[in-house]
């Protein structure tokens, strides 16, 4: 194998060599067993939740003494660009590898890390996994290294995708050492569709101390006691009712630290964001979740876990009674007591998964007969999609070509 053009721990070395014994630092950073690679959606330039959940997991592991580094890999371009630039926050608060642009770069990471964690956020969303050709299912990670899912989300209540994509998930998820998911629906999907055991855990934003979030936030205060954080809100009636209250939706005027501060210093928050709800809970703020549907698996699962009444979940019809919503109050003494227990359960899962002895032979559970069956199915599917994309045009051709490459690459990797 050709020597790697970079060392993913390089940045961490230069940031710490003045404050740590040089010999100890070198030993710590070249010790592969202490290095953990994280793969999530940290690169988003408009999603506060995506970057903060990435920060939280990185921060927790770093404070535990691991060399936790986010893989600087971007599977696809954001459709929304130049709205809010989070580069300053990323560079200041999240350890990143150099930019990863090729499959070879991803595979080279196996030489530097002994464990790979994917999560949190919708990293198991079938659409995302399809576009990224299996990277978020850790296709590139060797069996000699641990593969862990922490608070991963499928982003859907049921796995109703085609049988071939289901096969892809079945193959790649079976290689994981430990799987935890963010929603109860994810536990059911893993069991029902793939015959795999998954544990229900909290989003990483809950596993670090509240004081860290308070320290990270700025000192800015909202201009109104009631604020709203609504992503792609299409409810015109609600927009009109909230017009006199401050919006903290992403734009270049609201950075990550200010966003946290606005929630921390508000009295009431109206949001349709999962992580908007999470930080309301962390800061013990009264809130209401507004949705276009009544079956958001992420929120329903969190509400059920923390025993938050359904009245704080409102479907976004055109008759939202704001005055009535403001009268409701969450019992945070009860919520906080549950949160303490669930937080510890989530931390215990992560610590146990990382402390387990890695058995390479046991990890490779796919026997030759199973591999042959999967390879035959994947090869046939790749041929079908190759024919279809060559006969198609426009966006349909592009989508079919992506599927063809996904199944072709998976066939070759087995």
Q: What percent of the chain has pLDDT over 70?
A: 82
Residues 87 and 236 in one domain: no
Residues 191 and 258 in one domain: no
Structural contact between residues 280 and 330, judged by C-beta atoms closer than 8 angstroms: no
Q: Which of 86-95, 176-185, 288-297 has the lowest mean pLDDT?
A: 288-297
- Compute the distance between CA of residue 405 and CA of residue 114 in angstroms, rounded to an integer: 28
With respect to residue 340, please indicate whether it lies within any of the assigned structural domains: no
With respect to residue 102, please indicate whether it lies within any of the assigned structural domains: yes
pLDDT of residue 301: 93
pLDDT of residue 2: 41
Q: Is the pLDDT of residue 6 over 60?
A: no
The pLDDT-based confidence of 1 (bands split at 50, 70, 90) is very low
pLDDT of residue 27: 52
With respect to residue 154, please indicate whether it lies within any of the assigned structural domains: yes
Dihedral sign (CA 404, 407, 413, 414) = negative
Longest dimension (CA), the chain: 66
* pLDDT tens string 76-127: 655 545 445 688 898 889 989 988 888 889 999 999 999 999 988 899 988 7
Q: Which residues of 95-117 are buried (b: 16+ CB within 10 A; e: fewer)?
A: bbbeebeeeebbebbbebbbbbb
Take residue 117 and report the two structure tokens written for it.
């964690």
Q: Which of 72-81, 151-160, 194-203 has the lowest mean pLDDT?
A: 72-81
Q: Is the pLDDT of residue 4 over 60?
A: no
Q: Is the pLDDT of residue 46 over 60?
A: yes
**What is the model's pTM?**
0.84
Arithmetic mean of pLDDT, 235-258: 84
pLDDT of residue 165: 78
pLDDT of residue 232: 83
Residues 228 and 317 in one domain: yes
Residues 47 and 145 in one domain: yes
Range of the domain at 178: 10-206+349-365
Bigger pLDDT: 143 vs 350: 350
Local structure of residue 100 (DSSP, 8 states): B
The pLDDT-based confidence of 16 (bands split at 50, 70, 90) is low
With respect to residue 411, please indicate whether it lies within any of the assigned structural domains: no
- Compute the distance between CA of residue 273 and CA of residue 90 in angstroms, rounded to an integer: 21
Please give the torsion angle defined by the CA atoms of residues 71, 75, 81 and 85, in that order, rounded to the nearest 10 degrees: 0
Structural contact between residues 154 and 185, judged by C-beta atoms closer than 8 angstroms: yes
| DSSP letter for each residue of 305-357 | HHT--GGGEEE--TT--HHHHTT----HHHHHHHHHHHHHHHHHHHHHHHHSP
Q: How many domains, in total, are found in the chain? A: 2
- Compute the distance between CA of residue 32 and CA of residue 83 in angstroms, rounded to an integer: 38
Arithmetic mean of pLDDT, 125-133: 68
Residues 177 and 60 in one domain: yes
Q: Is the pLDDT of residue 316 over 80?
A: no
Collapsed DSSP state (helix, strand, coil) of residue 41: coil
With respect to residue 4, please indicate whether it lies within any of the assigned structural domains: no
With respect to residue 172, please indicate whether it lies within any of the assigned structural domains: yes
Residues 101 and 172 in one domain: yes
Q: Is the pLDDT of residue 191 over 80?
A: yes
Residues 124 and 218 in one domain: no
Q: Which residues of 227-266 are buried (b: 16+ CB within 10 A; e: fewer)?
A: bbbbeebebeebeebbeebbbbbbeeebbbbbbbbbbbbb
Residues 264 and 138 in one domain: no
pLDDT of residue 3: 41
Collapsed DSSP state (helix, strand, coil) of residue 270: strand
- Compute the distance between CA of residue 302 and CA of residue 278 in angstroms, rounded to an integer: 9
Structural contact between residues 228 and 242, judged by C-beta atoms closer than 8 angstroms: yes
pLDDT of residue 9: 61
Query: Which CATH number goes with the domain that contains 279?
Result: 3.40.50
Query: Which CATH number goes with the domain that contains 32?
Result: 3.40.50.11720
Local structure of residue 246 (DSSP, 8 states): E
* pLDDT tens string 297-311: 899 999 999 999 888
Residues 199 and 287 in one domain: no
With respect to residue 59, please indicate whether it lies within any of the assigned structural domains: yes
Residues 151 and 185 in one domain: yes
Q: Which of 261-265, 318-322, 392-396 has the lowest mean pLDDT?
A: 318-322
Strands 115-118 and 35-39: parallel
Arithmetic mean of pLDDT, 341-348: 97
Nearby residues of 407 by Cβ (< 8 Å), 6 or more positions away: 164, 168, 378, 381, 382, 385
- The strand ranges marked E within 52-114 are 67-70
Q: Which of 60-64, 137-141, 353-357, 409-413 has the lowest mean pLDDT?
A: 409-413
């Amino acid at each position: 194998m050709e020597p790697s053009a970079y060392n993913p721990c390089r940045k961490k070395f230069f940031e710490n060599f003045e404050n740590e014994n040089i010999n100890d630092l070198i030993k710590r950073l070249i010790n592969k067993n202490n290095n953990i690679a994280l793969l999530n959606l940290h690169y988003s330039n408009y999603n506060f939740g995506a970057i903060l959940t990435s920060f939280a997991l990185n921060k927790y592991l770093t404070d535990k003494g691991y060399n936790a580094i986010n893989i600087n890999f971007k599977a696809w371009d954001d459709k929304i660009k130049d709205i809010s630039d989070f580069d300053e926050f990323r560079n200041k608060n999240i350890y990143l590898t150099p930019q990863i642009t090729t499959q070879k770069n991803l595979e080279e990471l196996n030489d530097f890390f002994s464990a790979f964690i994917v999560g949190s956020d919708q990293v198991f969303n079938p659409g995302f996994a399809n576009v990224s050709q299996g990277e978020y299912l850790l296709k590139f990670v060797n069996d000699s290294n641990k593969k862990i899912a922490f608070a991963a989300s499928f982003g859907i209540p049921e796995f109703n995708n085609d049988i071939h994509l289901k096969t892809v998930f079945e193959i790649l998820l079976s290689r994981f050492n430990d799987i935890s998911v963010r929603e109860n629906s994810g536990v059911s999907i893993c069991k029902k569709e793939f015959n795999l055991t998954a544990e229900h855990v909290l989003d990483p934003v809950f596993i670090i101390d509240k004081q860290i979030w308070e320290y990270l936030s700025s000192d800015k205060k909202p201009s109104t006691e009631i604020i709203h954080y609504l992503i792609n809100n299409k409810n015109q009636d609600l927009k009109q009712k909230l017009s006199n209250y401050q919006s903290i939706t992403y734009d270049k005027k609201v950075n990550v630290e200010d966003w946290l501060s606005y929630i921390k210093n508000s009295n009431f928050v109206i949001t349709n964001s999962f992580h908007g709800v999470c930080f309301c809970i962390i800061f013990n703020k009264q809130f209401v979740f507004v949705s276009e549907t009544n079956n958001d698996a992420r929120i329903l699962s969190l509400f059920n876990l923390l025993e938050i009444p359904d009245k704080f979940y409102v479907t976004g019809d055109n008759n939202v009674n704001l005055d009535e919503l403001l009268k409701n109050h969450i019992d945070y003494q009860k919520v906080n007591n549950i949160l303490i227990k669930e937080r510890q359960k989530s931390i215990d899962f992560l610590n146990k998964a990382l402390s387990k002895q890695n058995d390479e032979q046991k990890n490779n559970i796919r026997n030759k007969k199973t591999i042959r069956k999967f390879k035959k199915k994947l090869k046939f599917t790749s041929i079908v999609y190759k024919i279809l994309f060559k006969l198609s045009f426009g966006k349909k051709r592009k989508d079919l070509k992506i599927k063809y490459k996904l199944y072709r690459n998976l066939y070759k990797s087995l």
